[in-house]
Amino acid sequence: MHEVKTQIKAEPWMDVMSAIYGRRAIRRYTSEVPDHLTIERLIDVAIQAPSAMNRQPWAFAVIEGSEILKSFSDRAKAYLPDAPEGNIFHDAPALVIICAISAERQAAEDCCLAAQNFMLAAYAAGLATCPIGFSRFWLEQPATKKEIGIAEDHMPIFPIALGFPDEQPQSHGRRAAEIVWY
Ligand SMILES: Cc1cc2nc3c(=O)[nH]c(=O)nc-3n(C[C@H](O)[C@H](O)[C@H](O)COP(=O)(O)O)c2cc1C
């Protein structure tokens, strides 16, 4: 990631522990739009994730534009019995959907590992993300998949809102890990 052309911050990059502890789900975005090169670099980081038998069973769909996402939010909310107030995509300028390209066991886990790479790298690079589980019911509809170019046999697993942060939320903390056995 040496490209100065991208919006990714120049080296030195954040160390992995700082990224893990510092990343937050961001629900307020600036109007700055991540450029294609930046999104592609983040996807390249995502696919460095491990996968079962190195199958790399993922594909990525990118939706750009906060206005279109706003209209998608209205449609997605129709599939939620307890829809939240407002835009489920938090007015982010882009959504990256990590899809499993096979129904094989562990493909979904592999996609989630790619998602965590993506979110940590985005944070380290000065961008912001939020997983949008609320959009999955809508994304899984065959008509939605067709509309946004996701193949019939691919499964949307992990939708991630992407943009630049307009807030710096504190961590809500974590419960102590339950360690059941040494
Ligand atoms: C699978 C998954 C689905 C999520 N779905 C949503 C969502 O639909 N909307 C949202 O605002 N946050 C969503 N989140 C974000 C969580 O609420 C957030 O990660 C959690 O509160 C911890 O906060 P942190 O990420 O800032 O540490 C989701 C997180 C995960 C892992």
Cα of 43 vs centre of ligand 1, distance in Å, is 20
User: Within a domain: residue 1?
Assistant: no
User: Within a domain: residue 152?
Assistant: yes
The structure tokens listed for 132 are 């949008």
Answer yes or no: is pLDDT of 92 > 80.
Answer: yes
Q: How confident is the model at residue 5 (pLDDT cuts 50, 70, 90)?
A: low
In this predicted model, which residue has the larger pLDDT, 12 or 107? 107
Q: Ligand 1, closest atom to CA 24?
A: 26
Answer yes or no: is pLDDT of 4 > 50.
Answer: no
Closest residue by Cα to atom 1, ligand 1, is 133
User: Within a domain: residue 168?
Assistant: no
Express as a percent the part of the chain with pLDDT over 90: 91
User: Within a domain: residue 177?
Assistant: no
Q: What is the CATH number of the domain that holds 115?
A: 3.40.109.10
Instruction: Kindly state the average pLDDT of the residues 4-11.
Output: 73
Nearest CA to 83 out of 133, 15, 47 is that of 133
Express as a percent the part of the chain with pLDDT over 70: 97
In this predicted model, which residue has the larger pLDDT, 5 or 75? 75
Task: Tell me which residues have their CB closer than 6 angstroms to ligand 1.
Answer: 24-25, 27, 130-134, 171-172
User: Within a domain: residue 156?
Assistant: yes
What is the number of other CB atoms lying within 10 angstroms of the CB of residue 22?
13
Domain tally for the chain? Answer: 1
Distances from the Cα of 2 to the Cαs of 11, 23, 39, 163, 171, in angstroms?
A: 7, 22, 15, 20, 30
Residue pair 160/130 in contact (Cβ under 8 Å)? The answer is yes
Answer yes or no: is pLDDT of 111 > 60.
Answer: yes
The structure tokens listed for 170 are 């504190």
pTM, rounded to two decimals: 0.95
Domain that holds residue 60: 24-163
Looking only at the bridges linking them, the beta strands covering 58-64 and 94-100 are antiparallel
**CA atoms of 1 and 18, how far apart (whole Å):** 18
